[in-house]
Amino acid sequence: MNHVLTSGPVWYLMRASGVVSLLLLTAVCALGIATTTRLRAGNMPRFLTLGLHRSVSLLAVAFLAVHVLTAIADPDASVRAVSVVVPQLSDRYAFWLGFGALALDLVIALVVTSLLRHRLAPRIWRAVHVLAYLAWPVALLHGAGMGTDSSSAWMLTVDGVCIAAFGGAVALRLLIAPSSASKHLSPPRVGAAR
């Protein structure tokens, strides 16, 4: 039974969920940037962008959980449970798995602070939430160095699309809406109209 559970299907699920996690994390970052800069397509209300950002975030976390659990379950992956949260505690692919562990730790911090947002000072929540911008390239490096398909044409295309989407969103934030982004990130003044 163990061989059937951890042979091909689990390995493919691990790989696929990793790719989907990267795509979703890219979308989460782009939607987060759109939300904070108050950019939206056409006349779409801001709450739709925010709701889509939250929904895609939950989906990204679900796929990331599948990716991590299947990596632990697959004996061919040689990933110990502690290796997924503590960088450099793996015999195989230690360096690249360390990037994955770091990205996971950052995502866990994002999830925990988002769940506790109503109990945290806005500045603390924002400071931790900015970690999403670090989690994305770290996750990209993890997949590029550890993924068995990392040098294949289709995976290089996926990486390129993710880099273009993330880079485009960051450029948009820096070039088009720097004043609205800085206003949104600074706390409102006491007595200021909202």
Per-residue pLDDT tens over the stretch 107-119: 999 999 988 989 9
Calculate mean pLDDT across residues 138-161. Answer: 90
Could you identify the residue written with the tokens 């490096």? 141
Q: How much is the pLDDT for 137?
A: 93
Q: Which residues contact 121 (CB under 8 A, 6 or more apart)?
A: none
**CA 34, 37, 42 angle in degrees (round to 5)?**
60
Q: How much is the pLDDT for 34?
A: 77
Could you identify the residue written with the tokens 């699309």? 161
Calculate mean pLDDT across residues 44-48. Answer: 70
Q: Spell out the long-range contacts of 188-194 with Cβ–Cβ below 8 A and sequence spacing 24 or more.
A: none
> Please, which pLDDT band fits residue 58 given cuts at 50, 70 and 90?
very high
Are the C-beta atoms of 99 and 142 separated by less than 8 Å? yes
Are the C-beta atoms of 80 and 122 separated by less than 8 Å? no
> Please, which pLDDT band fits residue 191 given cuts at 50, 70 and 90?
very low
